[in-house]
Amino acid sequence: MTPSPLLQIMVVEDNDSLREATVDFLIQQGHQVTGVVCAEDVDDTPTRDLPDLYLIDVNLPGEDGFSLSARIRKSQPRTGIVMLTARSQLSDRLTGWDCGADNYLIKPVEKSELLACLNNLGRRLKQAAPARQTGLVLDRQTLSLTGPQGRVSLTFAETQLLAALSRAAGQKLERWQAMQLVDSKDKGLLPANLEMRISALRKKLTACGAPANAIQTLRSFGYSLSCEIQLT
């Protein structure tokens, strides 16, 4: 039998006890696991590496699991998505598939079934050949952006910011969120310096073939990404 791969998993579940129990169980199986309460926390919880797999509850506060799954599938076409919910109607399951879910499990789920589902999906993800990419591709491992017109190197902060914009609801971040990503050690980055960093990132996007002004400044709010970027 093919050994089960070790995965980086993000659990999105608003029920505290269930989320904590699921996270603890998966960590015991050797996986690296992060638990968050809602879709917004997915955007506000940057990780060094993109999750291999998301375990998402449908009934989340704010943005629901269907919408979150569709966003993740759009920006991370090669990641795994498992929906875990008490909503068992056919229409709900069909919506889950339409939003890009790889599996749709009905609560309550036995731990053995959940683990078998995640391990099987993880093996397929690890064994799958890289999909042919088109357009802009952000590689968080090599800190690089590739597009129709070439490849550019990014700083770690630029990579984090671009990944967060791509994953965020509406591809928008508030100014404080962008500031936190660019100045993660809180060294007192000034707004003018942030604008300079954004301007430099715009030039790199354009050099790769992105449309002009791919990152737009939204007055009294923050920033918006106007093009699609695939994350690897």
Kindly tell me if the per-residue pLDDT of 3 is higher than 60. no
Q: How far apart are CA 58 and CA 163, in angstroms?
A: 24
Q: How far apart are CA 46 and CA 155, in angstroms?
A: 15
Mean pLDDT of the 209-217 span: 85
| 115 contacts 206 by C-beta, under 8 angstroms | no
Per residue in 59-110, pLDDT (tens digit) is 999 999 999 999 888 878 878 999 988 887 888 888 888 888 999 998 888 9
Instruction: Determine the length of the chain.
Output: 232
Of 13, 82, 24, the C-alpha closest to 51 is: 82
H or E element in which residue 54 lies: strand 53-56
Token pair 């591809």 is found at 171
- This prediction has a pTM of 0.62
Token pair 């079934």 is found at 113
Boundaries of every domain in the chain: 8-127, 136-231
Domain 136-231, CATH: 1.10.10.10
Kindly tell me if the per-residue pLDDT of 152 is higher than 50. yes
CATH of 8-127, one of 3.40.50.800, 3.40.50.2300, 3.20.20.70, 1.10.3720.10: 3.40.50.2300
Per residue in 157-194, pLDDT (tens digit) is 888 888 888 887 778 888 888 888 877 665 667 777 88
Mean pLDDT of the 219-224 span: 86
pLDDT for residue 82:
94
Give 2's Cβ-side CA count (13 Å radius): 12
Phi/psi of residue 229, nearest 5 degrees: -130, 125
